[in-house]
Amino acid sequence: MTEQLARLNRLPLRDDLRGLTPYGAPQLDVPILLNVNENTHGLPKSVREAIAISVERAVAGLNRYPDREFTELRDRLAAYLGHGLTSENIWAGNGSNEVLQQILQAFGGPGRTAMSFPPTYSMYPLLASGTGTRYVTGRRSDDFGLTAESAAEQVRAEAPNIVFLCTPNNPTGTALSLDVVEAVYEAGAASEAIVIVDEAYGEFFHAGTPSALELLPGRERLIVSRTMSKAFALAGARIGYMAAAPEVTDALRLVRLPYHLSAITQATANAALEHADALLANVEDIKVQRDRIVSELQDLGLKPAPSDANFVFFGGMEDPRAVWEGLLEAGVLVRDVGIPGHLRVTAGTEPETSAFLARLRELLAAGI
Ligand code: PMP
Q: How many domains does the chain have?
A: 2
Alpha-carbon distance of 349 to 327, in angstroms, equals 17
Q: 33, 104, 170: which to mutate for ligand 1, most atoms within 8 A of CB?
A: 170
| Same domain, yes or no: 171 and 262 | yes
Averaged pLDDT score across all residues of the chain:
96
Distance from residue 2's CA to the centre of ligand 1 (Å): 29
For 176, phi and psi rounded to 5 degrees?
A: -95, 145
| Same domain, yes or no: 340 and 263 | no
Host domain of residue 157 = 45-276
Which residue, 276, 299, 333, sits at the end of a domain? 276
The number of beta carbons lying within 10 Å of the beta carbon of residue 182 is 17
Residue 348 near ligand 1, beta carbon < 6 Å: no
- Residue type present at position 121: Y
> What CATH number is associated with residue 291?
3.90.1150.10
Q: Establish whether the linkage from the previous residue to 12 is cis, with ω within 30° of 0.
A: no
Whether 359 has a pLDDT exceeding 60, the answer reads yes
Q: How high is the pLDDT of residue 160?
A: 98
User: Region 344-352: what's the mean pLDDT?
Assistant: 97
Which residue, 276, 300, 316, sits at the end of a domain? 276
| Same domain, yes or no: 19 and 134 | no
| Same domain, yes or no: 104 and 198 | yes
Share of the chain above pLDDT 70, in %: 100
| Same domain, yes or no: 27 and 163 | no
Residue 238 CA: which ligand 1 atom is closest? 15
User: Region 22-36: what's the mean pLDDT?
Assistant: 87
Q: What 8-state DSSP symbol labels residue 325?
A: H
| Same domain, yes or no: 22 and 164 | no
Q: How high is the pLDDT of residue 20?
A: 81
| Same domain, yes or no: 151 and 196 | yes
Q: Whose CA is nearest to atom 12 of ligand 1?
A: 96
Q: Whose CA is nearest to atom 4 of ligand 1?
A: 200
Can you state the angle between helices 148-158 and 178-187, rounded to 10 degrees? 20
